[in-house]
């Protein structure tokens, strides 16, 4: 069985490394890290991920702008995006049913279980 | 001559010299400058007794009485009846004593034999007017002081609130890294080694604790976003009590809810008010580590002066005649230290630092109540514990 490909775009190096380690340890996923929002589009085009985990607040280019770039690209517009953000609380995410602006949201820090469940919901 | 001073004045004359009393009586009763209803007593004791049952507009006080001498007499009356204007009437002329009397609350200082009916009438009427102005000034000053302290509090809170969201974002990212790092190590490291498990759990708990603090800080930042609608206070209380039921049971605390039926609804953000009540309940529970009793009451009443003293500096939101719904939460704990009462709503003030208290709960509670234009006050109940009172204004349509 081939591994599902996940791209994580987040300027927090340490955080992206931990997400990669944990998701790859499940044995179902292969994770690529991109720490610069401005490079997200080109990395995604090369890597062809099944799912993108995307930080909201990043220097240079913020998460919602990255989504706009992805949506304009025919190869990437259908790739599901899950926002990872420290700007809202778990409660705020729960109140919104886990979706804000049509995208799934995970509040930082959330439990690993929640992150894995969310990934599983999107790409199995 | 026609009457100059229109209002009738009830005058209490404290004078033990019969001749002097007679002179004052004839001056006041026969004068056409104003209309006086004069009562005479000979001692301070009699004066205080009479003042208990009878209302006077002004007091004319001799300083040389059988049961009290000099300015002591002034102090005694002033202490018990601060609202009563006093004019000193004495035989001994001393400039320094006169000035001293005025400094200590007398409205005027008259020398027996040196004034005529008009001057006496004028002195008494002016004393009443001056005292009225003085009291109004005092009320305005108190209000200004209350407003000032509210502003200082609001400034402190908005300062914390402003920093909160920025800090939250910066701190949550490293926290997420720590938590996911611990999860990974948990998977990979030897579960048999107790020390490894202890270390990982300690790191995880510390990160979670830090996250809780951040969450409380964020509550400040989002405090202005309310979703207010008409709610039943009793329902909010029941819900809050359910929330804290477990803590009450495990701490051997008996809960007694005396909730008044059919209270008028109040316009509030239910979740936020629940947060306030739960916080107050938890504080009460913490105050009774060896068990005790918790009494929660709700009632409606009309706002009046007696309620004003119960609600402290939040009283500015209410005026006499307002229909209010009140909640009181009373515990049988050790009460609040006198020196802590002034700071209890300050951000980061806590008496439970060692037990992990952050000191934001009550200041958030106060901010939430203030944003609802509601009142909250904490006080000690003599020989019982502490009591929190919450108050909301009922707004009727039309």
Structure-block tokens of residue A78: 């259908």
Supply the pLDDT for residue B204. Answer: 87
Supply the pLDDT for residue A17. Answer: 92
Q: For residue B169, give the nearest of A19, A25, A57 by CB distance.
A: A57
Instruction: Say which residue, B56 or B142, is predicted with more confidence.
Output: B56
| Test the A interface: residue of B177, B218, B225, B226 with most A CBs within 10 Å | B177
Which chain B residue has its CA at the smallest distance from A23's CA? B184
**Complete DSSP assignment for B146-213:** HHHHHHHHHHHHHHHHHHHHHHHHHHHHHHHHHHHHHHHHHHHS-TT-HHHHHHHHHHHHHHHHHHHH
Residue A97 has pLDDT above 60, yes or no: no
List Cβ neighbours of B153 (8 Å cut-off, separation of 6 or more): B345, B346, B366
pLDDT, averaged across chain A: 85
Supply the pLDDT for residue A44. Answer: 94
Q: Are strands B229-231 and B266-268 parallel, antiparallel or unpaired?
A: antiparallel
pLDDT, averaged across chain B: 86
Across the A:B interface, residue pairs with CB atoms under 8 Å apart total 58
- Report the alpha-carbon distance of residue B225 to residue B207 in Å, rounded: 28
Q: Decide if B211 and A87 are in contact by the 8 Å CB cutoff.
A: no
Supply the pLDDT for residue B341. Answer: 83
| Tens-digit pLDDT profile for residues B163-174 | 666 777 788 888
Alpha-carbon gap: A109 to the closest alpha carbon of chain B (Å): 4
Supply the pLDDT for residue B248. Answer: 92
| Tens-digit pLDDT profile for residues B143-201 | 888 777 767 766 766 666 666 667 777 888 889 999 999 989 988 887 778 888 888 88
Asked if residue B70 lies in contact with residue B40, where contact means CB atoms within 8 angstroms, the answer is no
Supply the pLDDT for residue B193. Answer: 80
Report residue A90's pLDDT band, with 50, 70 and 90 as the boundaries: low
Supply the pLDDT for residue B219. Answer: 67
Report residue B351's pLDDT band, with 50, 70 and 90 as the boundaries: confident
- The dihedral built from the CA positions of residue B3, B4, B7 and B8, taken in this order, carries a sign that is negative
Report residue A28's pLDDT band, with 50, 70 and 90 as the boundaries: very high
Q: For residue A25, give the nearest of B187, B215, B218 by CB distance.
A: B187
Q: Are strands B385-393 and B86-90 parallel, antiparallel or unpaired?
A: unpaired
| Tens-digit pLDDT profile for residues B289-345 | 999 999 999 999 998 877 777 777 777 788 888 899 999 999 999 899 888 888 888
Residue B24 has pLDDT above 70, yes or no: yes
Supply the pLDDT for residue B55. Answer: 93
Cis peptide bond upstream of B250, omega within 30? no
Residue A96 has pLDDT above 60, yes or no: no
Between the two ends of chain B, the Cα-to-Cα distance in Å is 54
- Interface TM-score (ipTM) > 0.85: no
Instruction: Say which residue, A38 or A102, is predicted with more confidence.
Output: A38
Which chain A residue has its CA at the smallest distance from B211's CA? A109
Contacts of B184 in chain A (CB under 8 A): 18, 21-22, 25
Which chain A residue has its CA at the smallest distance from B210's CA? A109
Question: Angle of helix B117-188 relative to helix B361-371, nearest 10 degrees?
Answer: 120
| Tens-digit pLDDT profile for residues A49-65 | 999 999 887 888 888 78
The whole-number average pLDDT for the span B378-385 is 86
Tell me what percent of the residues of chain B surpass a pLDDT of 90: 43
């Amino acid at each position: 069985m081939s591994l599902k490909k996940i791209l994580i775009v987040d300027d927090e190096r340490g955080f992206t490394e931990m997400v990669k380690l944990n998701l790859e340890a499940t044995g179902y996923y292969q994770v690529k890290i991109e720490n610069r929002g401005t490079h997200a589009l080109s990395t995604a085009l090369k890597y062809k991920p099944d799912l993108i985990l995307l930080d909201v607040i990043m220097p240079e280019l913020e998460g919602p702008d990255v989504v706009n770039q992805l949506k304009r690209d025919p190869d990437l517009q259908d790739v599901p995006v899950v926002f990872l953000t420290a700007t809202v609380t778990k409660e705020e995410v729960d109140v919104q049913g886990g979706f804000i602006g049509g995208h799934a949201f995970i509040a930082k820090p959330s439990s690993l279980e929640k992150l894995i469940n969310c990934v599983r919901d999107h790409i199995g | 001559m026609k009457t100059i001073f229109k209002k009738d004045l009830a005058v209490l004359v404290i004078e033990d010299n019969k001749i002097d009393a007679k002179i004052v009586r004839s001056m006041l009763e026969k004068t056409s400058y104003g209309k006086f209803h004069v009562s005479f007593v000979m001692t301070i004791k009699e004066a205080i007794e009479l003042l208990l049952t009878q209302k006077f507009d002004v007091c004319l006080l001799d300083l040389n009485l059988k049961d009290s001498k000099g300015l002591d007499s002034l102090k005694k009356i002033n202490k018990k009846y601060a609202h009563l204007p006093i004019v000193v009437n004495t035989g001994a002329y001393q400039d320094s004593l006169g000035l001293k009397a005025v400094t200590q609350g007398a409205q005027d200082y008259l020398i027996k034999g040196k004034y005529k009916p008009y001057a006496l009438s004028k002195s008494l009427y002016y004393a009443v007017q001056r005292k009225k102005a003085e009291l109004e000034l005092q009320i305005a000053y108190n209000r200004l002081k209350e407003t000032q302290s509210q502003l200082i509090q609001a400034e402190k809170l908005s300062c914390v609130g402003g920093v909160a969201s920025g800090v939250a974002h910066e701190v949550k990212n490293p926290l997420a890294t720590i938590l996911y790092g611990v999860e990974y190590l948990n998977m990979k490291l030897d579960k048999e080694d107790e020390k490894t498990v202890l270390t990982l759990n300690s790191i995880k708990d510390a990160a979670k604790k830090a996250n809780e603090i951040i969450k409380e800080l964020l509550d400040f930042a989002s405090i202005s976003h309310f979703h207010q609608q008409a709610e039943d206070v009793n329902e909010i209380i029941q819900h809050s009590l359910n929330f804290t039921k477990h803590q009450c049971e495990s701490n051997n605390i008996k809960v007694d809810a005396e909730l008044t039926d059919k209270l008028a609804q109040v316009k509030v953000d239910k979740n936020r008010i629940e947060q306030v009540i739960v916080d107050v309940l938890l504080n009460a529970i913490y105050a009774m580590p060896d068990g005790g009793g918790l009494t929660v009451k709700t009632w409606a009443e009309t706002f009046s002066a007696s309620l004003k003293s119960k609600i402290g500096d939040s009283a500015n939101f209410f005026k006499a005649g307002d229909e209010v719904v009140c909640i009181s939460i009373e515990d049988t704990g050790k009460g609040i230290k006198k020196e802590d009462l002034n700071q209890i709503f300050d951000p980061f003030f806590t008496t439970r630092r060692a037990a992990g208290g952050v000191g934001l709960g009550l200041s958030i509670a106060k901010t939430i109540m203030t944003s609802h234009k509601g009142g909250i006050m904490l006080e000690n109940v003599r020989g019982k514990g502490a009591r929190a009172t919450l108050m909301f204004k009922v707004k009727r349509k039309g």
